[in-house]
Amino acid sequence: MATPNIRVFPDLAALTAAAKQFVLEQATGAIAQGGQFTLALAGGNTPKPLYESLVSADTPWSQWHIFWGDERYVPLDHPDSNAGMAFQAWLNHVPIPKNQIHPMPTADADPQTAADRYEQTLRQTFGIREGEFPRFDLILLGMGPDGHTASLFPHTAALTVGDRLITVGNKDGQARLTFTVPLINHARQILFLVTGANKQTALRHIFGGTGDPHLYPARLITGNALWFLDQAAAEGVVQNA
């Protein structure tokens, strides 16, 4: 992959503060240019403090449009729901219009039907035709110790889907909904938030010259990506970290 754009922070608190500033800068720029800010959220523990910090932000919330890059196939009120976490930490506390918040549907018996529905939601919201990809202003991503990002897990069929916006991911036999690789790569800006020493091995393979993208799927993200790492994740991976 091309030389990654990496910033290293001493701890989660510093990373969170920088991420908040970055998100708000992207929002300001997008709203000034196009009148709205389209943001896709990540799940997991790392972005939760960011979401909590955004509650106090001074921004025109009425121009924000919120989506999710992936979702576990559980109800919104389930403890494992990515959307549920974001609502509790942030979205329930700010005046973003409800019709501009778009959680992934997880009530259908068939996850593929749900994927089709969310794809249609994106096409309608962005006003795009079949074969086109929406251009999100910002997509937030995390990364697991196995190198997965969104719900793009190693050696799964979702990694090779190139003609859809949304597909069905698989984690240990459990269905997930996820953005596809080309949809993520089409974003104006991608921001990875990665913390913890247990991410070092995956990061070495992702940033290295010969890593296997099917074993470390975050390597497939080749768009305009910025990586925010804490010291624990970066140590031994990033020079002078």
Residues in the chain: 241
How many secondary structure helices (H) and strands (E) does the chain include?
Answer: 7, 9
Domains (range + CATH), the chain: 5-234 (3.40.50.1360)
pLDDT beneath 50, residues of the chain: none
- Contact present, 185 and 223 (Cβ < 8 Å): yes
Does the pTM surpass 0.95? The reply is yes
Handedness of CA 212, 217, 223, 226 (dihedral sign): negative
